[in-house]
Amino acid sequence: MCGRFSLASDLQEFLEQFKLELPEELLHPRLYNIAPSQPVVGLVADPEPRIEVMEWGFVPSWAKDDGKFKPVINARGESVAEKPYFRGAFRNSRCAILADGFYEWKREGNEKRPHWITLEDGEIFAMAGVQSHRHSPDGSEHVTCAIITTTPNELMKDIHNRMPVILPTEEIGIWLDRETRAQDAEGMLIPYPAEKMKAREVSQYVNNPRHGSAQCIAPVE
């Protein structure tokens, strides 16, 4: 699963390829330890790509507001297109969640050692996701999302048995496009090339979701 990630880099250069501009307060987010239920920055197509701030924890648009449906942070790529909980969103409300790294915990004996995984070049990337728009009884809109995961590549196999689906930059627009057929979108749910990624062990400081400083990504000495 993917249960924490970071977005501490300047977003504007990444977004220029989509002809998008961010408000000043979002240009340098400095988010080193994003956890479930927190706001995340993503892209959606409407029909052209636009920025969307969403809450990490998907609840389907058709769910009643009675508390019976608990937010889900990850959707398995092998079943997201068919599972009733995600099926409608996969066909009509795909999104791309922006990050510059994600965390995973490697089990060694009785201990879990956190690792921070990034692209080899350290650039921002987009994780495939699904989103949902729901309206609260007071009329306000509640936008939620989940990150789609897949089997691990060679780098991740030694750390964990799942990893987020990372979209090649040139395929983000295709993923977001509502005209893209569901079976074609399914074909994009594959592991990102291991040779284009790197990982390093970080301290257990990141284990606490209340910790949000750059210390989260500091390498273990």
152: its two tokens: 């691990």
Q: Give the sign of the dihedral formed by CA 17, CA 19, CA 122, CA 127.
A: negative
Q: Give the helix/strand (H/E) hosting 113.
A: strand 111-119
65 in helix, strand or coil?
coil
Q: Give the helix/strand (H/E) hosting 155.
A: helix 154-157
Q: Give the helix/strand (H/E) hosting 145.
A: strand 141-150
Q: Which amino acid is at 107?
A: R
Active-site entry in 55, 95, 104, 216: 104
162 in helix, strand or coil?
coil
Give CA–CA dist 147/49, Å, rounded: 18
**Biggest distance spanned by C-alpha atoms of the chain:** 51
Catalytic residue list contains 123: no
Active-site entry in 2, 95, 145, 216: 2
Measuring CA to CA, which residue among 94, 112, 120 is closest to residue 1?
112
Catalytic residue list contains 221: no
- Please give the positions annotated as active site: 2, 104
